[in-house]
Each structure stands twice: as C-alpha cells, then as structure tokens.
Amino acid sequence: HSPMYYFICCLAVSDTLVSVSNLVETLFMLLIEHGVLVVKYNTLKHMDNVMDMLICSSLMSSLSFLGVIAVDRYITIFYALRYHSIMTLQRAVIVIVMVWLASSISSTLFIAYESYAVILCVVIFFLSMVILIMALYIHMFTLAHQHARRISSLQRKQTAPHFTSMKGAITLTILLGVFFVCWGPFFLHLILILTCPRHPACSCYFSYFNLYL
C-alpha cells in the first residue's frame, strides 16, 4: 500500500495511453490515406482533436508522474522517519487526481492555441522535468556517497565508499539513460519542428519518426 506503487501504476497507465493513442492515430491515418475509411472533414477534424487531446494528456501526465516519483524517492531518503506522515495515502490520491486533472485541462486548452505555441510549452515542460529529476537524483546520489564515506571512516575500510559510489553512479546513469532514450526522439522531433522544419536533415528525421516511436 505504499504511495510509490500508486505513482508507478499511474505512470504505466500514462505510458500505455501514449502508445495506444499514437497507434490508433497512425492506423486511422493509414486507413484514410488508402481509401479504406472515408469520413467527412468535420468528423476527421473532431477525431484529430480527440486524439491530440489524448496524446497530450497522456504525455503531460507521464512526465508529471516521473517527477512525482523522483520527489517521492527524495522524501523517502531525506525524510525517512517522517515519510509516512508526509506522504500519506490521502495525499498521494490528491496528487494523482491533480496530475490527471491538470493534464486533461492543459490538453483541452492546447487545442485552442497554435501548434507552435503548444509544442513550445510541451518542450519547456519536458526540460523542466529533466532538470528536476536530474537535480533530485544527483542530490540523492551525493547523500549516499557522503553516508558511505562516514560509515567507511568509522569502520576504517576505504573500499566501501568507492563501491557504493560506483553502484549509485551506475543506478543514476541507468535511470537517466532510460529516461532520455525513451523520450529523447519524441522531444527532439518537437524541437526540430520549432527550429528547422524545412531543413533536409530534419525532413529525413521526420520521415523515420514513427519508427522511433
């Protein structure tokens, strides 16, 4: 019943929605292009808006839950004795509801704005989450390293801090590496749309974008 597992479950749901919504949108595009599915322009526009809302909402919630999990781990390490009083089940539910609500509202509002403004907001939000997650995990790694050195000085063993530091560094590298590998291509695509939409190299990347997804 730890709140962390609720956050992880919500993250999994968000990532699944991103994948499913992108798959459904790609499938509809292929069916329409090949004349298998014939729909009116207004219907197609409404369908496009619904899929954009679903993708944007899932994306925002996924990034938000990554940040929430990082904050939860930070509280676990730096406020271990007070964790269960700080992160109660009720507060965890409130955080989850707020994340989903904010993601849904923002995705609805984004439809009313130009695509470049929406992309810019999403990229800024992504970079903010990257900075937050990196800062928290680096701080946690630093604390673990200092704690290992104190234990080593008491036990007079010099190999312990080095081993612990390497283990912490490897864990941190894996966490951030998986994060960038999973989200990097998508946000690189958004950044290229803003900076060089007509450059030949960018056009080549755009043509393979669905493969990256």
The domain in which residue 100 lies consists of 1-112
Residue 1 pLDDT more than 60?
A: no
One domain for residues 41 and 100? yes
pLDDT on residue 124: 85
Q: Which of 51, 86, 112 is the last residue of a domain?
A: 112
One domain for residues 140 and 203? yes
* Measured distance CA(68)–CA(125) in Å, rounded: 14
Residue 159 pLDDT more than 70?
A: no
* Spatial CA neighbour of 62 closest among 111, 114, 20, 2: 20
Domains identified in the chain, total number: 2
Q: Which of 69, 85, 112 is the last residue of a domain?
A: 112
Left (φ > 0), alpha (ψ -120 to 50) or beta: where does 156 sit?
A: left
Percent of the chain with pLDDT over 90: 9
DSSP helix/strand/coil, 164: helix
Query: What pTM does this model have?
Result: 0.77
